[in-house]
Structures are given as structure tokens and as C-alpha cells.
Amino acid sequence: MPRKPSRRPRKQSAPRRGRVRRLFGAGGWTLAGLLLAAVAVGGVYVHQLDREIRERFEGQRWALPARVYARPLELYAGSPLTVDALETELRALNYRETKDGAGPGEFHVRGDDVRLTTRPFMFGDGPEPAHSVRVQLANGRVQSVAEQSSGRDVDLMRVEPLLIGSIYPTHGEDRILVDIDEVPRELIGALLAIEDRRFMSHRGIDPVGIARAALANLKAGRTVQGGSTLTQQLVKNFYLTRDQTLTRKLNEAVMALLLEHRYDKREILEAYLNEVFLGQTGERAIHGFGQAARFYYQRPLNELRLDQLAVLVGLARGASYYDPRRFPERATQRRDRVLKAMAETGLADRERVNRALETALDVSPVMPEGRSRFPAFLDLVRRELRADYADEDLRSDGLRIFTTMDPVVQMRLEERLVRGVDDLVQRRGEGTDLDGLQAAAVVTDPQAGEVLGVVGDRNPRYAGYNRAVEAQRQVGSVIKPFVYLAALTNPDRYTLATLLDDSSLTLQLPHGEPWTPRNFDQEHHGSVTAWEALVQSHNVATVRLAEDIGITQVISLLQTLGLQRTPAPLPSLALGAIELSPLEVAGLYQALANGGYATGTRVIREVLDQDDDVLSHYGLSLQGAVSDRSVRLLTHALHDVTREGTGRRIDARLNGQIVAGKTGTTNNFRDSWFAGFDDRHVAVVWLGMDDNRPTGLTGGVSAAPVWAEIMEGLGVQSLHLEGHPGIDYQRIDLASGLRVKGDDHACESVKMLPFWQNSSPETRAECDLGSDSGRQGWFERLFR
């Protein structure tokens, strides 16, 4: 056993002293001196290699990428879920559809009845064991969750979260560490059988193996076998450069001996299993069997079949040469050799091996170029992480990042946005130039501001300019609800029935130049109720209202609701002369969907370190609030926008389901927006050209239908507008803004409007002919 000379016990060398003297005689001292010097030099050399080995083996061995996960799907009786959404989620997780869904990562659907078996997963708040359950769904909800075996109800469980991306070390190595006890015994057996049969008995170098390989190579006249042990291969991968020099060979041998001396076989084998290079895609290098299983089969190692394990084992010899995607024939031959070796060594019985030999290679298609299926979301995650983490830590510390993404929402959003925009381009195609029309969208959850899905490009796979986050575009009328909200927070002065003047207006701007806002239809509408001005998006009336409240009040409200900057207090702000990203718009609308409480938008829930300890928890936080009642009144009007206002295409599309929102169109049709919400989603859609070219599209005809398309895909959950104890409804004559009682009136247009208690107009409209009882009809009135 090689030991460092300095550590050799003196006692052993003492009896030899006489022999040495006799051997060298008088001049032997010189020789002895030279020998000693050689031993000393060798000692230093070996000592250095030894230190190198220990530093690498005992420190953090690998730079591990950060893993970014979607939110886990929670299953419980009552959870809003459809069979379709559940299946989408399971397929995204690469679950296999089988006859009974009884094995890990398997599912089975029959009507409203889904059987599935999850995999165990470690969350920040503890482990979630594997569950094998039967989930019954109906009417868009989970009706029951019960264990498959016992039929016992499961109160609450989580499916393991979807891995949505990784943040790789700069050298591009990607690995999932495996514990040797988790590795299938067959894989280890096959590896030893094919690579190093005497692994358990040699001490790092295998002279028998070298001799056998040399003989085989001599016979063949070329290199057909290698004589390196697994230990040598590990050393080669772990410590040395790839050049083939004699020094390197010597280092390799000495280090292999040292490694075996210092560490036991289990540790060496485990290191090998995690280190070995098994594939490459772009700049990403696949190391270790844990990652290889994901990379080639998209499943954890312990779920692979015998033939799949054999493919991976075969790759250890040469991952590029035996690449099953590029060279399926070679890979199959190599696999079959591994399988036969397993049969020879008795690791697997003939029958299983024969079955495995019959099986076709079934590697999954390689991931598309780029590093995530969801580049825009991952980009947003990285931006948020940068605030708290150094880039190097993200690339090397094996952090696990739990995000708010709902994979089903994300996928539906992508699908529907693409479809909606394609339809639009097709519909409007004639005579318009919509080449290069771009799109971005954000969906968040109203209550906590969690970002559920993000698309930053019309091609959602494109990992470039993330318009949802980076694009700063004028928002147009999307801002108007906040002007009206600022008004409604003062119920003594403003209600939805307050009359606003929409007649021609010219304002002197601070710099002296005059500004004359115009309505979209280039007409003026005289006196209009605030309700109508908002629903029909009249510009002039809105500017007057903002002037009346004071534009600084509007700014202050926007800041309460999460706006991070202070725009110049110009009257044009009331018409949306401010540049925001779709994500920022979603942040502002969040508060409208959340009873006036601003939450901001969140994409990360938690960051865990390698030991599963929570490094950061980004908790629920309410950042500001405006009165609930004013938000409720506003929401009524925003619902009417989608029914009879500029966004009326939405109502037809969504079959009368109750949603609320606002269109936005900027000067010369450069930007088309729709921002709105239902009970469970806030969604913002932007359409436009990167170079600011006019599109000729209004928010109402373009972004609104795309928004409806998306909401339909997500499954609309209607808002609950009615039943607030503090809200009364009044019929209002829209011409005068005064009340109308009963059905009996001659008013041209009457609208039922909500009012905060006691704030509705007292005065009756002149066109209201009804008596106090309100039950008299036109016949009675004839004789009055």
C-alpha cells in the first residue's frame, strides 16, 4: 500500500540497516544520500497530489446549478381543477399513461376519474411522501382524493413540482447528485461488469486488466479495450486535463492509488457515478447518471428499465461516440453488449436480458436549443434573484428556487396568445401590414400577486427580448381606471353618476404650449356620466376629471398601488402618457382585483440551499390599500367595459361570464392593450411593433379578443359583483345622472349603477314619470 515515506514508521526500517550497509559498502553513503533525496522529491510530489485529492474530494466536489421549479400542484377535495388541466400538468412532468397509474410517475384517466402515483419530494416545509391516489373530479373541482390501496381520503397532498429550468455553472456542467443507495443495483453491477470487473478487489490500478487490454489491442491491431479502472477514470475526469502525456499517465496512476488508499470503494464509486461525463447539448455538459437519466429519458434514475440503464452504462465509455440520439445503432450495439455482460455475470437473468434486448431505444427527443421551455418566466426569475443573490452562488451552490409559475396557466397562456394573435393577423391581413407584430402577456393570481405565467414574445420559446418585463410602452387608456378610482375614493364628490363635461378643452401645459385632448371618434359628447366616460373611454371628460381631482392625486394613488416611480404631473398622464411594462400594468391591476390591496407581483416563493434549509422566503405582503368600496364601484364599470364598452367583444366571446378590464390604444395605434381580471386571474395583453410602427389596431379590436381567448383557455371564474352589504343599486338616467324609479319612465337610456350607501343622487330625473309606488304603467299615467 503506498504511503507517504515521511509517515513510514521507523521501526520497520531498523532491522534493514545492516543489509543496506553491506550492500553499498563505504561509498554507499553517497548513494543513500541520493536515494534519500529521490525519496524526498518523490515524497513532495506524492504529498502534493495527495493534498489535491483531498481538497477536491472533501470540499464541495461539484459546482451545482440552481434548479428553478414551478409551484407544486396541490390536490384536495374542493380544489378548482379539470381533468384536462390535471392531465396537462402530469404530462408536463413526464408522467406515463398506464393501465392503473400505480407506479411512480404514472397516471390513468377514465372519465372524471384520475389515478396517479406521485414521487416523493423535499419541500421547504418538509418532505412530501409519494402518494398513490384516485382523484375524482366534477364541475371543475376535485370532488375527492383517496388512496388507491385503502380508499382512505387524503386531506391534502402535493404533486412534485415541474422543473422549469436551471442556472448552470459557467463551465456548463449539469448534474443531479445521486446517493449511492438510491442508484439501482443493476446499474452499478452493469457498470462494473463492463468497465471494471475487478473494481472491488484492485487497489486503484489493475495490472491484470491492463495486461488483458494490451493483449486484446495487440490481437486487434488497434485500441479496442481500455485497461483503466473506474478509479483511474474518475481521477482522469476529476483532476486532470485531457492531454495524453506520460506525466499525466503517471499522475493518474499515483492519484488512483492515493484515492484508493484514502477513501473506501463506496465513496469512490459514488463520486464516479456523479462525475462521469455522459452527454452534451450546446454548452451544457451532462455529468453523472442522475442527470443522464433526466437528459435521455426525462425520468428519475430509479424509474428506468433494464434496457435504459444499459444504455446509460454504455455511455460511460464514450458519450459522444455512443450518443443514442445521434448514433442509435452504435448505442444499441453498446447497450446490447452491456446487457449480455449482465447476463454473463449473473446480474440479471437471461429472460429479462432477452426482453431488454428486444426493446427499442426510446430516448426522449432532445430539449430545444435554449435552456428552458419557458424562457420569459425564467428570465423574470433571474431578474428577481439578482436582487438577493450573487450570480456565482446561483451557478454553483445547488440552490433550489421555488417559483409561483402555474405550468398549466403558462402553457395555456402561450397557446392562446399565439392562437389569438395569429387569428388577428389573419383576420386583419388584407391591406394591413402586420408583419412583425409582437405580443406579450402576463397572468397573475389576484390575492397574493403571484405571477402564474409570462410570455415575452410571439414565439414563446424564443429566449431573447422579454417584452413582458423589459418593454416600456405607453399604456394609453389602460391607466384611466386609476383616474376614476382616485375620484371614487371621495364619495362625497364623485359617484359613477357624476356628470363630466366632454366638450372641447384646451389646457396650457407648464411650458406654455397649449394641449387639446381629442376623443377617439373625434367627437365631443357633451355631459356624460363618469360611468359612460370610463366605459366608452372618452378622453376629454377623463382629462377634465383628472384636472378636477388634481393629477398629483392620481400619481399618488398609482404609487400606493405599486408604481415605482414619480411621473411628471402632466394632464396627459390621465390618458396614459406613461411607459410601463406589461408586468408593471399587471401589478397595478392587481390591487383592483384584490379589493384595493396592492400586493405587487411575486415570482419566487422560496429559495432553499443544498441541505434543504430555507435561505429566503418571500412571504405574502400587502403593500398599500385604497378603499374597498371605491374599487367595487370601479369594478362594476370595468365589467361594463367588457359588456357594452370598448371591450365588448369580450362578453360575446366569454358567453356572459363576469370579467372586468380596460382597453388601451396609444397615439397612431402604436400599442394595443387589454388589462383585466376575473375572480382568479389578472391578465394583461400587449400588442405592438418593436420599432413603434403604427399597427392600425385598437385595444378593443385586437388586444381585447386576444385577452378573451386567453381567459377562455384559463377557464374563467366569474367575478362576484353583487351582494356587498354596503352597496346599493340605483337606476340612473344617463343624460342627467339623476335617479329613475321603477320601470316607468321616458328616459332614453337608463342604467343600473352601484353606489356606496347614501351616496346615490337624491334628485329624480325629469324623464322619470313613475309614482312613489312605481307600479303604475303607461295606462294609469294616461289618466293621471
Partner 1 sequence: MNKISTATTGFSEGMGAGWGRAVAPGALAVVLALLLAACATPAPRDAGTQSADDETERAGEGDRAREPDTRERESIPGAALNLARQAESARQAGDTARAEQRLERALRIAPRDAGLWHQMAALRLEQEHYEQAERLAGRSLQMSAGRDRDLALKNWRLILRAREAQGDAAGAAEAREEIRRLESDVV
Please list the active-site residues.
Answer: 195, 477
Selected binder of partner 1 within 34, 250, 509, 620 (CB under 8 A): 620
Q: Judged by CB under 8 A, which of 11, 22, 110, 720 binds partner 1?
A: 720
Q: Which CB atom, from 450 or from 709, has the smaller least distance to partner 1?
A: 450
Give, as ranges, the residues between 49 and 78 that touch partner 1 (CB under 8 A): 74, 76-78
Which residues are within 8 A (CB) of 645 and not within 5 positions of it... i.e. 6 or more apart? 534, 535, 536, 537, 663
- Rounded to whole angstroms, how far apart are CA atoms 671 and 703? 9
Report the residue from 321, 652, 752, 777 that binds partner 1 according to the rule CB under 8 A: 752
By CB under 8 A, name the one of 28, 172, 595, 696 that touches partner 1: 595
Give, as ranges, the residues between 650 and 709 that touch partner 1 (CB under 8 A). 679
In order of 281, 430, 575, the CA distances from 370 in angstroms are 10, 35, 40
**Binding-site member from 98, 143, 560, 776 for partner 1 (CB under 8 A):** 143
Q: Among residues 625, 689, 696, 776, which is the contact residue for partner 1, using CB under 8 A?
A: 625
Give the residue from 308, 631, 694 showing the smallest Cα distance to 446.
631
775 binds partner 1 (CB under 8 A): no
Contact segment (CB under 8 A) with partner 1 among 334-342, 385-393, 589-597, 649-657 equals 589-597
Choice from 320, 390, 729, 749 touching partner 1 (CB under 8 A): 729
Gyration radius (Cα) of the chain, Å: 36
Q: Which 532-561 positions form the footprint of partner 1 (CB under 8 A)? A: none
Q: Which residues pair with 672 in a beta bridge?
A: 665, 687
Q: Residue 465: left (phi > 0), alpha (psi -120 to 50), or beta? A: beta
Report the number of secondary-structure helices (H) and strands (E) in the chain.
26, 33
The answer to whether residue 612 forms part of the interface with partner 1 (CB under 8 A) is no
Q: In angstroms, what CA-CA distances link 135 with 89, 101, 143, 408, 409?
A: 14, 11, 8, 18, 20
Number of residues that bind partner 1 (CB under 8 A): 47
Least Å from the CB of residue 77 to partner 1: 5
265, 330, 383, 724: which one contacts partner 1 (CB under 8 A)? 724
- In Å, the largest CA–CA distance within the chain is 150
In whole angstroms, give the CA distance from residue 385 to residue 391: 9
Binding mask 89-128 for partner 1 (x = CB under 8 A): -----------------------------------xx---
Min. distance of Cβ 152 from partner 1 in angstroms? Answer: 10
Per-residue x/- track, 291-330, partner 1 (CB under 8 A):
----------------------------------------
Smallest gap from residue 727 Cβ to partner 1 (A): 8
- Check binding of 226 to partner 1 (CB under 8 A): no
Please state whether beta strands 66-69 and 163-167 pair in parallel, antiparallel, or not at all (unpaired).
Answer: antiparallel
Cα angle for residues 185, 186, 191 (degrees, 5° grid): 100
Q: Is 448 near partner 1 (CB under 8 A)?
A: yes
**Which grid coordinates are listed for 596?**
384595493
CB of 678 to partner 1, least distance (A): 11
- Asked if 400 is part of the footprint of partner 1 (rule: CB under 8 A), the reply reads no
Decide: helix, strand or coil at residue 399: coil
740 SS3 class: strand
Contact segment (CB under 8 A) with partner 1 among 176-184, 528-536, 564-572, 593-601 equals 593-601
Alpha-carbon distance of 161 to 243, in angstroms, equals 42
In sequence order, what are the residues at sequence separation of 6 or more whose Cβ sits closer than 8 angstroms to the Cβ of residue 504? 516, 524, 540
Q: Which of 155, 181, 329, 748 binds partner 1 (CB under 8 A)?
A: 155
Among 23, 44, 211, 614, binds partner 1 (CB under 8 A): 614
Interface stretch with partner 1, choices 180-188, 249-257, 453-461, 751-759 (CB under 8 A): 751-759
* Beta-sheet pairing, 738-740 with 727-733: antiparallel
User: Which residue(s) pair with 616 in the sheet?
Assistant: 607
Determine the distance from the C-alpha atom of residue 364 to the mean position of all C-alpha atoms in its chain, rounded to a whole number. Answer: 21
Q: Which residues contact 728 (CB under 8 A, 6 or more apart)?
A: 754, 755, 756, 757, 760
Query: Considering only residues 109, 142, 343, 434, which one is a binding residue for partner 1 as defined by CB under 8 A?
Result: 142
Q: How far is the CB of 615 from partner 1 (least distance, A)?
A: 12
| Smallest separation (angstroms) from partner 1 to the CB of 617 | 7
Please state, as a whole number, how many other Cβ atoms lie within 10 Å of the Cβ of residue 146.
15
Q: Which of helix, strand or coil describes residue 56?
A: helix
CA distance 348 to 435: 60
Part of the chain binding partner 1 (CB under 8 A), chosen from 62-70, 287-295, 358-366, 611-619: 611-619
Residue span binding partner 1 (CB under 8 A) among the ranges 149-157, 216-224, 408-416, 480-488: 149-157
Is residue 726 at the binding interface for partner 1, with CB under 8 A as the rule? Answer: yes
Torsion sign, CA atoms 466, 469, 472, 478 = positive
| Residue keyed to cell 321603477 | 742
Residues that bind partner 1 (CB under 8 A): 74, 76-79, 124-125, 138-139, 141-144, 153, 155-156, 446-448, 595-597, 614, 617, 619-622, 625, 628, 679, 720, 722-726, 728-731, 741, 752, 754, 757-758, 760
